[in-house]
Amino acid sequence: MKLAFDLAALIARVTIGVIFVAHGWQKWQNGLGPTSQMFTQSGVPQPELAAGFTTMAELVGGSFLIIGLLTRLAALALLCVSLGAIIFVHGKNGIFVTDMGWELVGALGAACLLLLAAGAGRISVDGIVRTFLRKRAADQTLPESTGSATTTTTMPTNVRTVREVPRTDTDPPSNGTQSPPTEAPSNGTEPRADVPRQSTPPPATSSGAALSDDDMKALDALMSDDQPRKNPPE
């Protein structure tokens, strides 16, 4: 779509520019005197100044339209020339160009208005300069955006991160709190209950005399469930 507009704008600019250059060259060859005299007869105010402006606008403005340089400014100047020609010269003669009507100058003015609004397109000096300036601006903004992105990326590296070290059972408790009891390692056996150790009572010592043989035999018989035999009295 853009390419179609560029080609159409190129053809329109060259055609309109050639027509304006031809009319301006004709006025230049005839001289400003006859042109200003014609403007005086048509009732144009300031005929000498108007003749000079019209001749230069058609020559220079038409050339700028052909190459596409300062297209909008040239189109504005030529639009003013066309409107002046319609108002003071051709408007009262009707439409057709055979009757000196405004047919030709009206078409040229409408084309200048279109170029004033739409521009010359990319196939022109204005388009080439605009493309170059955009590329240059993009090249200048690219290092700035890259530098800002690098700064944003490297900022977090300057911040020291504190990693939380897990506490072990051997660390002393802080702030007056007691550490949880240490669990005994499991080796497949059930943990033994902590039973308070009782002191072994010392062997009882008889305060009396040692046992006799008869007493020992009686104890042996008692242990073997045999009744002790009593010795006959002597």
Token duo for residue 42: 């048509």
> Is 120 within 8 Å of 71 (Cβ atoms)?
yes
Collapsing DSSP to helix, strand or coil, 233 comes out as coil
Q: What is the pLDDT along the chain (234 residues), one digit of tens a residue?
A: 789 999 999 999 999 999 999 999 999 998 888 888 888 888 888 889 999 999 999 999 999 999 999 999 999 999 999 999 999 988 888 899 888 899 999 999 999 999 999 989 899 999 999 999 989 888 888 766 665 555 555 555 555 555 555 555 555 555 545 555 555 445 545 545 554 555 555 554 444 445 667 777 777 767 665 454 555 554
Question: How far is 27 from 32, CA to CA, in rounded Å?
Answer: 7
> Is 95 within 8 Å of 48 (Cβ atoms)?
no
Q: Can you give the three-state secondary structure of 87-109, one letter per residue?
A: HHHHHHHCCCHHHCCCHHHHHHH
> Is 24 within 8 Å of 62 (Cβ atoms)?
yes
Token duo for residue 162: 């504190």
Token duo for residue 40: 């005086």
pLDDT of residue 86: 93
Token duo for residue 193: 């209950």
Report the Cα–Cα distance between both ends of the chain, in Å, rounded.
153
